[in-house]
Homo-oligomer: A and B are copies of this chain.
Amino acid sequence: MKITIKKATNKDLSGIMELIKDVTDYHYKIDKYYKPFSKYKGLDKYTKEQLKGKSVKMLVAEDDGKIIGRIVGVIIKPPPYVSPKKIGNIDDIFIKEAYRHKRTGEKLLKELLKWFKEKKIKHIRLSVDARNKIGVKAWKKFGFYDYRIEMRKDL
């Protein structure tokens, strides 16, 4: 097994869609409030747009030509209540289950942070499901801290 990291291209689309299916269905399994992949229309079109976007960095991890992970970073305008004019947003990170605990996520993140720094980004944000304990723990290990909590009440 030799994991390599590269910039995603249109050729990677089907491999990427497999990862998106995994992450989408993972959330649906946690909470039926999320859309399952089968009902989430337009994800392929959205991903193609991201692949063309100048403010987007999408990296994939490959094992012998097979896509086993990805990270997506986007430069966005933050909400009006904060000071910076632009910030980095981590849209998604996902590593196939069989490939975890091999620091692939860390490598993807390091590459992405390098890009954000080149783009003079000073603040990165992301949103993770509160019940995804492994995810929250991993982000903390990488120096992220709880900034805001999104809470819900179902009537």
Residues on A lying within 8 angstroms of B by beta carbon are 24, 27, 32-35, 39-40, 42, 80-84, 113, 116-117, 121-131, 136, 139-140, 142-155
Q: Are B35 and A82 in contact, CB atoms less than 8 angstroms apart?
A: yes
Q: Are B155 and A151 in contact, CB atoms less than 8 angstroms apart?
A: no
A24-B81, A32-B83 known; A150+B153 contact, CB < 8 A? no
Contacts of A125 in B (CB 8 A): 150-152
A33-B84, A33-B123 known; A146+B151 contact, CB < 8 A? yes
Q: Are B123 and A155 in contact, CB atoms less than 8 angstroms apart?
A: yes
Most B CB atoms within 10 A — which of A117, A123, A124, A150? Answer: A150
- Please give the distance in Å from A135's CB to the nearest CB on chain B: 9
A24-B81, A39-B83, A81-B27 known; A149+B149 contact, CB < 8 A? yes
A113 to B142, CA, bound (A): 39
Q: Are B152 and A150 in contact, CB atoms less than 8 angstroms apart?
A: no
- Please give the distance in Å from A57's CB to the nearest CB on chain B: 14
